[in-house]
Chain A
Amino acid sequence: EVQLVESGGGLVQPGRSLRLSCTASGFTFDDYAVHWVRQVPGKGLEWVSGISWNGGTIAYADSVRGRFTISRDNAKNSLYLQMNSLRAEDTALYYCVKDRMIAVAGVLEDWGQGTLVTVSS
């Protein structure tokens, strides 16, 4: 069974940093691209960033480019999101998502349960 478990969320002040982690199990992690997708409670889904199977291709939404950094450690079956210069509008539930492909294709097949990030003073 595919499992994706996010951690690292919490309350953080505007302008500060936070690092999210996602631990994967139940599949061969380095056979797939993975993504971060966020959702403001009660609102729609927003893709944040994706990384290919070996980290060779990385993409970011315009709203986070230059502030967020995605990375993965295949030896640890883990995905990360370093979030700097956080803003109130970054407040959301952040999902770790497995793609069906090795590339950043956007076929979002398996989802974690999410970790909540709240940016507030």
Chain B
Amino acid sequence: SSELTQDPAVSVALGQTVRITCQGDSLRRYYANWCQQKPGQAPVLVIFGKDNRPSGIPDRFSGSSSGNTASLTITGAQAEDEADYYCTSRDSSGNLVIFGGGTKVTVL
């Protein structure tokens, strides 16, 4: 399969925890990576591999995976976390890179 499926939108109360999921057959073999994109800005990598954060990414962002589902969790969501989040991984052949459709996170 060459698809990654994400929920289109999710909301979270300020300071609460939100989990964003990404489903796809290729995730049984490859880790998902997660990018955050705010309006008018280029995306930013927030999680890669099993559960790794690039330098400068707050530790309230974490990643996990089980079976064909990868998750990005924001623990204690802040107003500045309001953004679109995209999962990305390889397709089942391992040769191509694929994106999920994105999840819009609204912080209430």
Contact = CB atoms under 8 A, between A and B. Distances in A.
Interface of A: 35, 44-47, 50, 59-61, 95, 100, 104-114
Nearest to A104: B97
Contact of A106 (B42, B88, B101): B88
Contact of B43 (A60, A61, A105, A108): A108
B44 A111 contact: yes
Given A44-B102, A45-B102, A47-B88, A106 B45 contact: no
Q: Point out which of B96, B97, B98, B99 has the most chain A C-beta atoms below 10 A from its C-beta.
A: B97
Nearest to A44: B102
Interface residues of B, number: 22
Contacts of A60: 96
Contact of B97 (A44, A50, A109): A50
B42 A108 contact: no
A100 B44 CA distance: 13
A114 B49 CA distance: 25
